[in-house]
């Protein structure tokens, strides 16, 4: 049997790369910026395959992938950048398995480079409380901001999910929010009493004022009765952080990081946190276990009598 029988010639491989990028764009709904990063990584990998005359791809490409990562290291790429390349290749090879181009995923055996990811910025419980108490509840915009920040933290939402929450997506009586996440995948996340109270207050007191006799299916409204932009909400958060005296660099994603980390610190299991965050792959959620471990280590080092 020809040992190269399961290989694909380069023109076919180029076509599969195009199909994969199309899949990421249409079915997964990734942003143009993310698509661009994936395209660059795959182009670099194809160049490596050309230069090393591998002739195509195979189920036995584990060594090829490792050599590629080693070559990237020699070129001076950081562990974080090499990890991003590996994430791209893992997704591509999984796609090839799903398309039945190959039967076995060779990338599954390759580990991420050490120190590949910096730990995400996480707010302490006290800092979260400072941010939640920062909006001026005497102003309609302040009541809106308070509800948005509470929901952002209560459900671990992405900012793109938060700004497009519709009126029918939140059920404060039952205590949940329905979220349309990446790739148009829907998930339902519970919310607590504080978020329910702030959302009810916003709907009762402030939303009609912000609508100004207009109609909108979206819950959180900015100028002209339209949803706030991501950049607009980010500016709002930065202002509240500054007013609260918090020096950390705070973004909307900081609340998502904090949501996951605080749940794990409190004893939540990883699968539950994965479901609430809407991660397709649990390996994406696992980074938060590192945050929780760092927190516990800090507590131990600070408080244990024989530290």
Give the DSSP H or E segment for 28. none
Q: What is the SS3 assignment for 110?
A: coil
Which fold would CATH assign to domain 10-109? DNA polymerase; domain 1 (1.10.150)
Reference 175, options 188, 162, 161; nearest CA is 188
Give the DSSP H or E segment for 177. strand 176-180
Residue 39 has pLDDT above 90, yes or no: yes
Query: Can you give the length of the chain in residues?
Result: 307
Residues 6+ apart with CB under 8 A from 299: none
Q: What is the SS3 assignment for 188?
A: strand
Q: Where are the domains of the chain?
A: 10-109, 125-301
Instruction: Please give the structure tokens belonging to residue 296.
Output: 């516990």
Instruction: Please give the structure tokens belonging to residue 218.
Output: 């979206």
The per-residue pLDDT for range 99-148, each reduced to its tens digit, is 888 888 888 878 765 554 555 568 889 999 999 999 999 999 999 999 99
What's the pTM? 0.60
Q: Please list the active-site residues.
A: 158, 182, 253, 256, 279, 288
Contact 113, 69 (CB under 8 A): yes
Q: Tell me the angle at which helices 62-74 and 79-98 cross, rounded to the nearest 10 degrees.
A: 160
The architecture (CATH level 2) of 125-301 comes to: Orthogonal Bundle (1.10)
Contact 7, 56 (CB under 8 A): yes
Q: Which residue has the higher pLDDT, 240 or 12?
A: 240
Least confident of 50-59, 130-139, 218-227, 230-239: 50-59
């Amino acid at each position: 049997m020809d040992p190269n029988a399961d290989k694909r010639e380069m023109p076919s491989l180029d076509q599969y790369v195009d199909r994969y990028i199309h899949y990421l764009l249409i079915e997964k709904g990734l942003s143009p910026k993310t698509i661009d990063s994936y395209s660059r990584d795959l182009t670099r990998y194809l160049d490596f395959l050309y230069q090393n005359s591998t002739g195509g791809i195979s189920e036995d490409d584990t060594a090829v992938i490792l050599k590629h990562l080693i070559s990237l290291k020699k070129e001076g790429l950081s562990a974080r950048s090499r990890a991003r390349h590996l994430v791209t290749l893992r997704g591509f090879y999984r796609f090839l398995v799903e398309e039945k181009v190959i039967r076995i995923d060779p990338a599954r055996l390759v580990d991420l480079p050490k120190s590949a990811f910096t730990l995400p910025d996480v707010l302490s419980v006290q800092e979260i409380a400072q941010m939640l108490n920062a909006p001026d509840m005497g102003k309609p915009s302040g009541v809106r901001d308070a509800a948005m920040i509470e929901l952002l933290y209560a459900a671990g939402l992405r900012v793109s999910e938060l700004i497009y929450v519709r009126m029918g997506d939140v059920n404060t009586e039952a205590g949940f929010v329905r979220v349309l996440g990446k790739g148009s995948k829907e998930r339902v996340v519970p919310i607590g009493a504080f978020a329910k109270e702030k959302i009810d207050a916003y709907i009762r007191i402030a939303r009609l004022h912000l609508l100004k006799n207009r109609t909108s299916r979206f819950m959180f409204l900015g100028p002209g009765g339209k949803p706030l932009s991501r950049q607009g909400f980010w500016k709002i958060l930065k202002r509240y952080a500054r007013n609260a005296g918090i020096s950390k660099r705070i973004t909307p994603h900081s609340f998502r990081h904090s949501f996951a980390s605080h749940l794990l610190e409190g004893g939540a299991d990883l699968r539950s946190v994965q479901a609430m965050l809407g991660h397709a792959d649990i390996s994406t959620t696992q980074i938060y276990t590192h945050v929780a471990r760092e927190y516990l280590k800090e507590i131990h080092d600070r408080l244990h009598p024989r530290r």
